[in-house]
Amino acid sequence: MRALLRASSIALVTISLPAFGDIVRCVTPTGAVTYQQIACPDAAREQATGIASEYPPVNLAERERLLAKEQEMYRRLEAQRDRDTQLVMAREARAASEARTREAQTAGEPYYIGWPAYPARPVHHGRGGRGSQPVWTGGNPLSPGFSR
């Protein structure tokens, strides 16, 4: 009889206790809810939940396929980013070159605020004369008796 009582009490305890790794929901008399992997305290009400604690094995072939696909996507995005960067750099260099060209073209022209009072005359330096004397000292080249 004692053996039967002992066996039935062990059976009741094992049925009422959750298996190791199962998640149970404990509700206290005040209404607080906790989820845990061990048995609830005596005052708390215990309920079994359908939360899985074990998962199927990882599908390695599918995982490797997805990782390779993702790596290829990153490679394409990196190449696109490099092309975009080169395009931006080329546009900036072209804009800077055009700005320098415009600046060089406008730098050679004088900018007058008003019309000059007298025209600018070119300066002719004497070539071949003596000292500071200009070359044409003999007078008018169209006059008779002119000699060089």
**Alpha helices (H) along the chain:** 2-16, 60-107
pLDDT of res. 21: 58
pLDDT in tens, the chain (148 residues): 555 545 455 544 444 444 445 788 898 888 899 888 888 888 788 877 777 777 889 999 999 999 999 999 999 999 999 999 999 999 999 999 999 988 887 766 666 677 666 666 665 555 555 555 555 555 566 666 656 5
Q: Which domain holds residue 46?
A: 16-54
pTM above 0.75, yes or no: no
Do 36 and 62 sit in the same domain of this protein? no
pLDDT of res. 69: 97
Q: Has residue 79 been placed in a domain?
A: yes
Q: Has residue 27 been placed in a domain?
A: yes
Q: Has residue 33 been placed in a domain?
A: yes
pLDDT of res. 127: 54
Candidates 30, 31, 23, 29; CA nearest to 47 is 23
Do 95 and 75 sit in the same domain of this protein? yes
Do 34 and 22 sit in the same domain of this protein? yes
Do 50 and 26 sit in the same domain of this protein? yes
b vs e for 63-78, b when ≥16 Cβ sit within 10 Å of the residue's Cβ? Answer: eeeeeeeeeeeeeeee
Do 82 and 95 sit in the same domain of this protein? yes
pLDDT of res. 35: 87
Do 39 and 71 sit in the same domain of this protein? no
| Distance separating alpha carbons of residues 15 and 8, to the nearest angstrom | 10
Determine the residue type at 76. Answer: R
